[in-house]
Amino acid sequence: MKTSELVTPPSRLVIASRESRLAMWQAEHVRERLTILYPQCDVKIVGMTTRGDQILDRTLSKVGGKGLFVKELEVAMAEGRADLAVHSLKDVPMELPEGFALAAVLEREDPRDAFVSNDYASLDELPAGAVVGTSSLRRQSLIAARYPHLVIKPLRGNLDTRLGKLDRGDYAAIILAAAGLKRLGLPQRIRALLPPETSLPAAGQGAMAIEIAERSDGLDLMAILAPLNHEATAQAVTAERKVSKVFGGSCQVPLAAFATVDGADMHLRAMVATPDGTRMASAEVRGAAADAEALGAQVAELLRAQDAEDILSSCLSEAAQAEADARSATLAADATAAAPGAAGDAAAAVPGKPAA
């Protein structure tokens, strides 16, 4: 008997989602799955703009990291405006707030990074000085280590925005998650898929997760959502997220963790590095997929033995300094704008307008 036949769903469920095209695709995918499982249940989607969607001029590592994409959705669940939230798992913090839990992890899409360019077929073809865009310190460090002749610049925005920046010539190439391109029907934009040996994926990359909040009405959302959970994917990302959690699970550090599951067996690889790729530690283990969390802890210990914490602490120090510099610049700009005569100075500087 199917799990869905053992539970009684409510008459209505509301899914909270970011409003980007990819996020809405993911929410719609979950809505369709739930509608098939529970045809008597009316499943709705509520789109929301998160702080992470609003900050486009700085990399995530400098503005608060993963939680920027989930907080507003969690508030909606806590206030009863939504019953569940659909996330790209790589955007979900390793530690959820009290009262929240991941109820299901769906079957993984392609977890690899994709090389996207209008003029070049691969990273190997890019000439010295070519500009490569990426939103990830992990990708930055891996590319810098293998291709030091390339210039790596930040790339923010949703998937369509990033592709638009490439198309207008801001970058010679950009690196994106293959999963997003495939889900939105854009596999033709992929010029090359980067193997894990070249670009080890981030923890949870390519996987979708459903988050829920504790309820007082007795509705068992865990049981309702259980049929959507893909066991092999859940095992893989459990191991990956354990590695990330041990080291703080922050966007401010270049960290990769990727597990594959073959039957009852798991192969887990992980890496930490400095953003410039000059220092790197890597480790891998094999074991039982049922021991996913223990394997993640084992890999973390192997990385620690290679001074991973020292590598990461240097990254955090650099990130903290960059954040402090950004705050100082903002305060200085605000002070200048508020200073007496600032408005007049600004007017005098406008081209074509005579100075006072």
- CATH number of the domain where residue 295 is located: 3.30.160.40
Segment 17-34 shows an average pLDDT of 96
* Separation between Cα atoms, residue 286 and residue 294, nearest integer Å: 11
Q: Does residue 64 register a pLDDT over 50?
A: no
Contacts of 322 (CB under 8 A, 6+ apart): 62
Residue 80's pLDDT is: 95
Segment 108-112 shows an average pLDDT of 98
The answer to whether 345 is a known catalytic residue is no
What band does 353 get if pLDDT is binned at 50, 70 and 90?
Answer: very low
**Which two tokens mark 126?**
């890019």
Q: Is the same domain home to 323 and 295? A: yes
Report the predicted TM-score, pTM, of the whole model to 2 decimal places.
Answer: 0.83
Q: Is the same domain home to 149 and 54? A: no
In a domain, 37, yes or no: yes
In a domain, 200, yes or no: no
Segment 1-24 shows an average pLDDT of 83
Please give the residue range of the domain that contains residue 254. 230-328
In a domain, 213, yes or no: yes
Residue 240's pLDDT is: 98
Segment among 31-35, 60-64, 202-206, 224-228 with least mean pLDDT: 60-64
Q: Which residue, of 170, 194, 218, is where some domain finishes?
A: 194
- Report which of residues 4 and 351 the model is more confident about: 4
Q: Is the same domain home to 260 and 212? A: no
Burial class (CB in 10 A: 0-12, 13-18, 19+), 78: middle
In a domain, 343, yes or no: no
Taking only the tens place, the pLDDT of each residue in 324-347 is 444 455 455 555 655 555 444 443
**Which two tokens mark 273?**
């590095």
Asked if 7 and 38 touch (Cβ cutoff 8 Å), the reply is: no
Q: Is the same domain home to 220 and 90? A: yes
What band does 313 get if pLDDT is binned at 50, 70 and 90?
Answer: confident
Question: In this structure, how many other beta carbons lie within 10 angstroms of the beta carbon of residue 109?
Answer: 19
In a domain, 333, yes or no: no
Contacts of 350 (CB under 8 A, 6+ apart): none
In a domain, 354, yes or no: no
* Separation between Cα atoms, residue 305 and residue 283, nearest integer Å: 10
Q: Is the same domain home to 73 and 221? A: yes
Q: Which residue, of 138, 172, 194, is where some domain finishes?
A: 194
* Exposure string over 94-108, b if 16+ CB within 10 A, otherwise e: beeeeebebbbbbeb
In a domain, 179, yes or no: yes
In a domain, 351, yes or no: no
Residue 341's pLDDT is: 55
Q: Is the same domain home to 125 and 166? A: yes
Q: Is the same domain home to 157 and 276? A: no
- Angle between helix axes 159-167 and 21-37 (nearest 10 degrees) is 140
Taking only the tens place, the pLDDT of each residue in 268-284 is 999 999 989 999 999 99
Q: Is the same domain home to 222 and 90? A: yes
Q: Is the same domain home to 173 and 138? A: yes
> Of residues 53, 57, 83, 91, which has the active-site annotation?
91
Q: Is the same domain home to 156 and 225? A: no
Query: What's the total number of domains in the chain?
Result: 3
What band does 160 get if pLDDT is binned at 50, 70 and 90?
Answer: very high
Q: Is the same domain home to 8 and 92? A: yes
CATH number at residue 173: 3.40.190.10
Q: Is the same domain home to 262 and 186? A: no
